[in-house]
Amino acid sequence: MHVLNEKQLKRLKEHSYSSCGSTMLDPYMQVWWEWVVQRLPYWLSPNCMTLAGLLVVIMTAMIFIIYSPDAKQDIPPWLLLMGALSIFIYQTLDACDGKQARRTQTQSQLGELFDHGCDSLSTIFIALLVAVTLKLGTSPTTLFFQCVFAICLFYTAHWQTYVSGTLRFGKFDVTEIQFSIMFMLVITAIMGSSIWSYVMPVVNLKLSSLPIIGSVIGGIVALSDNLPIILTGGVGRNGSSVAGTSVLSPSIPFMLFVIQAVMIWKKSPSLLYENNSCVYLLFIGIIATKITIRLIVCHMSRSEIGYLDSSMLGLLGLILNQYFDCYFDESKVLYVAFVYATYDLIHYTSALCREISTYLNIYIFSTSKRELQPHHRTRKADRRKTSTIIGL
């Protein structure tokens, strides 16, 4: 399986990471992150750190879902504290992986892609962790909106990067959001999950509405920063994207994904989403992860983004099953689609990482120097031979 062609690999190798902005807490957290990275062994690969942090979050979120598969049950205090700790570990490893790469002189385009790819996958798991804590399963619409909105915010952040070539951070960004979630988890562990069911007088809203309202306000602020850049900040010819394509092109695969996800939810005669909330959201979250990773790859390789993706076959299968009056049990089709989407993501990302690591002549999970491969030696020899002939 070839994910990238020769031109894309060449442009990806030429790519340089560009970012701007700093969050409110980042300057203070730098002290902790620098202290941690100075105590890491030199043999520890930055990508291993990123993956370890992601696995901690995934395992913790899955335990949350096992305790409350419908996002309506109380979560024990010890698990809530474990959730807060897992996010702190993920945050620390995610912030230190780049520092470790510079420290060991192993920074590469693969490391940047690996970091952002893991961030993309962590989005749905952290969103579900929050949803289960707040018991949002009592309001399926709110639960769906909260998770899809989180996915949308992450996608638009990289959409504007695809347009402008620079990843931008606001004053209230990832670090602050993570600390807000950690604070919420600790408070819930102390006060009990029932605190979020308390109905506030006058406004007649559950206390669980406050974090949702806060995230919506923060999301609107982030979107108001990103959308003008998407529409007017193109660095390509005539204001186009880094790949010279339309600045609106990334909207097409994302809208296709969202429309299908909503259609399946609303047209299900067996209330598929309502009866399998967490599984359904994990399913669409995995699809969104692949679409986002493809966008990141297109930015780094300055390539045109494709509108269709193999990960959407699961969505298509569910839609076709509904069209034929649910010939197969919807829940079974969902689980098959979920397994397929997971396999498709793993297959794509592993092939992508192997392809890039081979081209860059580096290891994925090691700081050791890789021996020059035969095809690299041949290319260098050919260039030297050509230079000699030209010189003569």
pTM for this model (two decimals): 0.92
Q: Which amino acid is at 274?
A: E
Is residue 173 situated within a structural domain? yes
Low-confidence winner among 63-67, 139-143, 379-383 (lowest mean pLDDT): 379-383
Q: d(Cα 316, Cα 156) in Å, to the nearest integer?
A: 24
Whether the per-residue pLDDT at 390 is higher than 60: the answer is no
Active-site hit among 2, 15, 116, 158: 116
Q: Tell me the pLDDT tens digit for each residue of 303-355.
A: 999 999 999 999 999 999 999 999 999 999 999 999 999 999 999 999 999 99
Is residue 384 situated within a structural domain? no
Query: Residue 299 catalytic?
Result: no
Is residue 102 situated within a structural domain? yes
Is residue 296 situated within a structural domain? yes
- Segments forming the whole domain that contains residue 241: 21-363
pLDDT at 133: 95
Query: CATH number of the domain that 276 lies in?
Result: 1.20.120.1760
Mean of pLDDT values over 265-287: 96
Q: pLDDT-based confidence at 373, cuts 50/70/90? A: low
What would the two tokens of residue 207 be?
A: 């206390």
Whether the per-residue pLDDT at 275 is higher than 80: the answer is yes
pLDDT at 105: 93
Q: For the chain, how many structural domains are there in total?
A: 1
Is residue 391 situated within a structural domain? no
Q: pLDDT-based confidence at 202, cuts 50/70/90? A: confident
Q: Tell me the pLDDT tens digit for each residue of 135-154.
A: 999 999 999 999 999 999 99
pLDDT at 376: 54
**Which residues have a Cβ under 8 Å from the Cβ of 228 and sit 6 or more positions away?**
none
Is residue 65 situated within a structural domain? yes
pLDDT at 26: 94
Is residue 247 situated within a structural domain? yes
Is residue 6 situated within a structural domain? no
